[in-house]
Structures are given as structure tokens and as C-alpha cells.
Amino acid sequence: MKRFFLYSFVFLISSLVFAQEKDTLVVAKDGSGDYTSVQQAIDNTKAFPENVKTIYIKKGIYKEKVKLHAWNPQLHLVGESRDSTVISFDDHFSKINLGRNSTFFTPTLSVEADDAVVKNLTIENTAGDIGQAIALSLSGDRTAVLNCRILGNQDTLYVSGGGTQFFKDCYIAGTTDFIFGNATAFFENCEIFSKKDSFITAASTPRENAFGLVFRQCRFTAVPDVSKVFLGRPWRTYAKTAVLNSYLGSHILAEGWDNWNNKTAEKTSYYAEFKNEGPGAATGERVKWSHRLRKKEALRFAKEKVLRDDAHPLWFRALLP
């Protein structure tokens, strides 16, 4: 009987603790919040929560590697100020030194959880232009990155996992293949900034996926002396990338796309453009195996169609003001 009452008491206390669990945790470098480290806050959230949990990050530079694990769904990382709330680290391929797949151990911020949101943050990899060095890696499904700066050089942003990902009002900077991966990712009103002559995207879209990387109402800009940039090349044979209703600067090469020395990819990959403007938007000299879309064809790249999930058909709308 005493043991029964003891267990009941422990259960009651545990229930009260969970009932009082805060929906928002605050991270602050000066100690004025609940934690001084972003990862500490993540590690102290409940696994598989029943509702959205927010980690609010005050201004400051947080030099740490951060990971949202698969058991951290519905977690929102929200910065106080996009330009002044910075998560920063400097891992790169040679520093990691774990063999041919070292790239995938380099992210400053890694999001493996579903239904996660990253908002009002700068995420940077400060290793420099010395090889593969990921700033942000996403592998969760129905994830969103809103009003963020994602800064790096080669391989800045890795979109993976085969799920759907949404980027809005972001600034993404890099050198080579700085947006790459196999996810279905929709970029809206983002600035894509090239720091040297190279390639912007390297999609590895699975053959069965209808969409890969889709850019709509974006701006492709560059450092002033950059003048020879390809929109993309196929990391894997069935790569898919589309650029619609966007501004393309003069740094975009007339041919637009590259086959990465893979003639087969010219038949199996899918690169498309529609109604772009700017000095790099002329399609008259584009490679013949890319596509100039008609209006009817462009309709299939509407956000609602690209990001549709049968169980959560309009999941991304809840994220917008």
C-alpha cells in the first residue's frame, strides 16, 4: 500500500511538471533567459511534444553546432533580429576528416525534425572558401525557413530527406553548389547571392519526385566582378530545378545550365524557366536540353502544388502572417 501511494505521488508530481512546461524557452547570452546556449534549450524540450514549442533566441553570436533531432518536431527556432541573432560555426570537409562523406558532418545548424520552423536568424559557416562547409542542413519534412540569412561558400545550404521544405524572404550566399540536395524545396522572395564564378544549384532529385528545387519571385545577384555563373548542374541524373518570375543578374551565363560532364543527364534531368527578367534572363542561347515553359506549363509550379502533402495539403499557410 505504501508503495502504491509513493508511485501515485511520483506520478502526480511528474504530471504537474509536464503541465507547467513552458511553450516558449528563452536563450540569451547574458544569462537573462532560461538558457545561454541554443542546444541546451533544444535538449531540454520534451520529445515529440503535443503542440508547438518555441525557442526564442535573443540577439548575440552563438558559436555552436546546433541540431534539432528527429524527436524534436513542432519546434520553432525564432531569433530576436535576423541580422543580430547569429548561429555560427566553422566546420569544413578537411577539418572533419571522416572520409568521403565528411561534408555531411559540417553543418552549423542541422534540422532533422518534421514540422520545424527556423525564423529571423543568421546561420553561417565561417570556415571560408576552403571546400565543402554546410551552414544549414534540412532533412525534416514540412520544414520552413523564414526571413533568415544563410551564409557560407561551397555547399552552404543542404536540402535533403526527400520531403517538402519552404523558404521565404531569405538571403542565401555561397560559391559552388551552394544550394544542393534531394528535397522538394520552394524558394519564395529570396535573394540568391553568388560570391564567385561557379554553380548555384546541384539538385539530386529522386527519379520519382515530381519537383526538386523551385525558385519563384527570387533575385539572383552576385559580387560585382562575378560574371560566369550557371543556374545549376545535376548532382544526380534526375535533378530537377525551375526558376520562375525571378530576376537574373548579368552574372548568369547565356547557356544557363551545365550537365556536370554527364550527357545522360541531358535526357533525364529537368531544368526549366518561365517569365524571368534581368540581363541574365534571356533564354535564346540556353542549352537545348533545358525548358522554356508556357504559361499553362508554369501553373504546375504553383506553391500549393509543389508543397502539397496529402495529409497536410496547405501546411505552409499556417506559417505566414
**Catalytic residue positions, numbered:** 155, 177
Q: What is the 3-state secondary structure (H, E, C) of the chain?
A: CHHHHHHHHHHHHHHHHHHCCCCEEEECCCCCCCECCHHHHHHCCCCCCCCCEEEEECCEEEECCEEECCCCCCEEEEECCCCCEEEEECCCHHHHCCCCCHHHHCCCEEECCCCCEEECCEEEECCCCCCECCCEEECCCCEEEECCEEECCECCEEECCCCEEEEECCEEEECCCCEEECCEEEEECCEEEECCCCEEEEECCCCCCCCCEEEECCEEEECCCCCCEEEEEECCCCCEEEEECCEECCCECCCCECCCCCCCHHHHCEEEEECCECCCCCCCCCCCCCEECCHHHHHHHCHHHHCCCCCCCCHHHHHCC
- Which residues are bridge partners to 58 per DSSP? none
Residue 300: which residues within 8 A CB-CB, separation 6 or more?
A: none
Which phi-psi region, left, alpha or beta, contains residue 170 (left: φ > 0; alpha: ψ -120 to 50)?
A: beta
C-alpha cell at 150: 544563410
Q: Rounded distance, CA 135 to CA 127, Å?
A: 10
Q: Which residues contact 59 (CB under 8 A, 6 or more apart)?
A: 79, 80, 81, 84, 85
